[in-house]
Amino acid sequence: MDIAKIFEDNASWVASRIGKDPGYFESLSQGQDPDMLYIGCSDSRVTAEDMMGAEPGDLFVHRNIANVVSNLDISAMSVINYSVVHLHVKHIVVCGHYGCGGVKAAMQSSNLGILNPWLKNIRDIYRLHKDELNAIADEDKRYSRLVELNVQEQCVNVLKIPEVQQAYRSGKLTMHGWVFDIASGKIVNLEIDFAKVLQDIEGIYDLD
């Protein structure tokens, strides 16, 4: 990677934006009002804005290994709280991707050091869905299914948060579970039935 070229490309990008709209950066600096919180994987191939055709200011973004939402992760919890309570985002999307290295690593029973507690989040999801997953003979298909189930369970983790429940029940917030298919470039909507998901966990995680 040529660092000098990054600054050249940045200068061209600035020139191109100003060329189209001389006041572009001035108005961008006035503040943000994004409609969506995007929670995705850190994978270098899954670029939130690019794949969605989003512009600066459109997305509030949180990325980590395997798009995990853990209630012990102060960073993720702060991002969700800030975006829901202060930015009033209308949509939260958890977007996984096929071929996710974090999910693959969680499928292997090996000691991965500092990654262990993080991958435990995904190993727990395997355990929760082990009957369905173990019934899939093809390893690649089982892997892809765990990617999807990971998205679903991370959406559930988002919905366990009281301020999210409040916004969700008031109808101001919509949840989405997606998977990015790197091999085709397409975003797959998992069309998770969140009303049913909420019904299933009602009484256990009902905090608001």
- Residues catalogued as catalytic: 41, 43, 45, 97, 100
3 state DSSP class of 180: strand
CA atoms lying within 13 Å on the CB side of residue 26: 4
Phi (first) and psi of residue 42, to 5 degrees: -75, -10
Pick the closer one to Co ion by CB: 43 or 168.
43
- Report d(CA 158, CA 70) in Å as an integer: 9
Smallest distance from the beta carbon of 97 to Co ion, in angstroms?
5
- Report d(CA 91, CA 65) in Å as an integer: 21
Smallest distance from the beta carbon of 102 to Co ion, in angstroms?
5
Q: Which stretch binds Co ion (CB under 5 A): 19-27, 33-41, 74-82, 177-185?
A: 33-41
- Residues within window 92-111 making contact with Co ion, judged by CB under 5 A: 100, 102
If binding is defined by CB under 5 A, does position 43 make contact with Co ion? yes
If binding is defined by CB under 5 A, does position 148 make contact with Co ion? no
Pick the closer one to Co ion by CB: 56 or 101.
101
If binding is defined by CB under 5 A, does position 36 make contact with Co ion? no
Cβ atoms 43, 101 nearer than 8 A: yes
CA atoms lying within 13 Å on the CB side of residue 126: 18
Q: By the criterion CB under 5 A, which residues form the site for Co ion?
A: 41, 43, 100, 102
